Structure 1
Amino acid sequence: MKVAVMGAGAVGSYYGGMLARAGHEVVLIARPQHARAIERDGLHMETTSFDEHVHLAVSTEASAVQDANLVLFCVKSTDTESAGALIRPYLAADVLVLCLQNGVDNAERLRTVLPQHAVAAAVVYVATEMAGPGHVKHHGRGDLVIEPSNTSEAVARAFIAAGVATEVSGNVRGALWAKLILNCAYNAVSAIAQLPYGKTVQGEGVKDLMRDVVDECLAVAKAEGVQVTGDAYAAVDKLAGGMPRQFSSTAQDLARGKRSEIDYLNGLIVKRGEALGIAVPANRVLWALVKLLESKQARG
């Protein structure tokens, strides 16, 4: 396949690197500092199973998606519409745009920007971070759940051959909500405390807080008619043990002075809860505190 990665941060670089390593023609669309390092040394992939430099193409321009069969769309949820508009003039007619993003509504939002193209949602279970320019560090997992489309099965086979466990599911909405609940339970707490998951859950009262968050998320999901996959409580209990050293993406954003995706995580539960008349006080407090920290950073 010819693959373009729009938004080659930690997630995009990891999956793009895995496909490039398997022999696919991959171009990462990345920020200038990241791009320069990759042009010079290749993409440094430090994973749980290998540590090597993967050589692949890199660009800073949205036009690099031209002629790609597959676009891995990995921008922040805050940038979904604007990034979609940037790549729209260059997309091939038969391209699949696969959303590898946090949140539950990105594919739906992107379809409004790209009505002439196939857009599919995916659920991403991976612990990664940018350890430096051109250096992606993988802490665990990496599996994907992909929404059905005309080419999803072929894409899934390519990922599997590249060492990425992947399945195509007819209930991606339920899987996205299951991932959202994990993010709502962990992201804000890790960000506020600036602690990894393993230390976060050791805090006094934190596990009870996380259970309250899950209760509220499940109430909203039920009212929305969503069939959440799996056992949300068990998944939350298990995550810290599987990724004890991982900082949430929200924590990483705040540490770098960047705007986070909290409006699309706990903030989404607050918004949907208000619309449905469901009280979500735990999610509201976490959302409000992260927003306060963001505004504090913005003021310098």
Structure 2
Amino acid sequence: MRLLVVGAGATGGYFGARLVRAGRDVTFLVRPGRAAVLRERGLRIKGSGEDDRITPRLVTAGELRDSYDVILLSVKATALARAMDDIAPAVGASTSVLPVLNGIGHLDQLSARFGEESVLGGVALLATSVDAQGDIAVLAPGATLTIGELSGGGELRADRALELLSGAGFEVTAVNNILAEMWGKWVFIATAGAITCLMRGTVGDIVSVPGGTDFARAVLAETGAVAAAAGFPLAEKQHAVIQNTVTQPGSPFAPSFYRDVAVGRSTEVEHVFGDLIRRAAALSVDTPLMDLATMHLRVHQHRLAAGNSP
């Protein structure tokens, strides 16, 4: 089976490299600038006990001719529209498109473009980033990928994707309730992003001051209430894991949202925060703290668009 990884960044690059090492037929669809870096340095993974370099097979937009069995879509939500145009020639009748973006709004866009039967749901959990040299830095050990079908006839596609992705040095699981898994990650990303971006500090920084722990719990209560109203309440264990993560004393944890804001990069505010508060309003769920966090990041985006530094 043939796999097309869209984007050789922190997520796609990591999973794709592990799959290459496992002997899978992997091609990376990348922009010309990224292609130049990878041709010069190779695709390198380093940190947390990992040290590897592969020579990836690369294509750029316009070079795709044949369809692939699975397309792993790992771009940011802000690049989704362009990515859909780029991958269109590679989507055949039996292709499964597996996005691992944050939130769930992208599922509607992909289903409208390629058909719901072609789209799988996916949740990627890993701590990686791309460093100044273009290498993938592993910030913490462990990576998991959870997949599942969205429509009633997708079981065979999910099974084929599971076969292709398994046994490559990371945990991959197929589940029947992928939307619940995706909502769980959405709650986690939105909660962690909101508290760290609003307070401009790590989890440890926030909970070290009076009111910090209560603030984190209050944001989680809002995001969890939206998920419950949408029909995907957090399981007790899931809630406990998220709450422990965002209230752990001394924790250096800060999500990519915070890291992007701290260095003046663009964020996925509309896809992760904006979509959540729009759904909350439609479901009559009050989210004053998430509303504030959304406005905060919208101001950040406005300043970037105006050419102002953070």
- Give me the whole-angstrom Cα distance separating, in 1, the residues matched to 2:296 and 2:122: 29
Q: Tell me which moved more, 212-221 or 280-289.
A: 212-221
TM-score by length of 1: 0.89
Decide whether aligned partners of structure 1 residues 203 and 55 sit closer, same or farther in structure 2, where only a CA change above 3 A counts. farther
Deviations 1:94-120 (A, max 9, x none): 111101111123223211011286110
Specify the alignment match of 1:265 in structure 2: 272
Among 291, 295, 305, the residue aligned to 1:288: 295
Among 222, 225, 240, the residue aligned to 1:219: 225
- Give me the whole-angstrom Cα distance separating, in 2, the residues matched to 1:116 and 1:275: 24
Q: Tell me which moved more, 113-122 or 10-19.
A: 113-122
After superposition, where does 1:113-152 map in structure 2 within 5 Å?
A: 113-115=113-115, 118-140=118-140, 141-148=142-149, 149=154, 150-152=156-158
SS of the residue corresponding to residue 292 of structure 1 reads helix
Specify the alignment match of 1:185 in structure 2: 191
SS of the residue corresponding to residue 163 of structure 1 reads coil
Q: CA deviation at 1:160?
A: 2.9
Q: CA deviation at 1:49?
A: 3.7
Deviations 1:190-214 (A, max 9, x none): 3455544554544543322221122
Q: CA deviation at 1:278?
A: 1.6
1:165 aligns with 2:171: yes
Deviations 1:8-39 (A, max 9, x none): 32111111111111111222222333221211
Specify the alignment match of 1:21 in structure 2: 21
Number of equivalenced pairs: 300
Decide whether aligned partners of structure 1 residues 34 and 230 sit closer, same or farther in structure 2, where only a CA change above 3 A counts. farther
| Percent identity of equivalent pairs | 24
Q: CA deviation at 1:130?
A: 0.5
1:237 aligns with 2:237: no
Whichever residue aligns with residue 155 of structure 1, its letter is A
SS of the residue corresponding to residue 142 of structure 1 reads strand
Q: Tell me which moved more, 244-253 or 11-20.
A: 244-253
SS of the residue corresponding to residue 132 of structure 1 reads coil
Whichever residue aligns with residue 294 of structure 2, its letter is W
**Structure 1 unaligned regions, length at least 5:** none
Decide whether aligned partners of structure 1 residues 272 and 162 sit closer, same or farther in structure 2, where only a CA change above 3 A counts. same
Q: CA deviation at 1:184?
A: 1.2
- Give me the whole-angstrom Cα distance separating, in 1, the residues matched to 2:148 and 2:101: 13
Specify the alignment match of 2:30 in structure 1: 30
SS of the residue corresponding to residue 151 of structure 1 reads helix
Decide whether aligned partners of structure 1 residues 230 and 126 sit closer, same or farther in structure 2, where only a CA change above 3 A counts. farther
Q: Does the 8 Å CA contact 1:127/1:246 hold for their aligned counterparts?
A: no
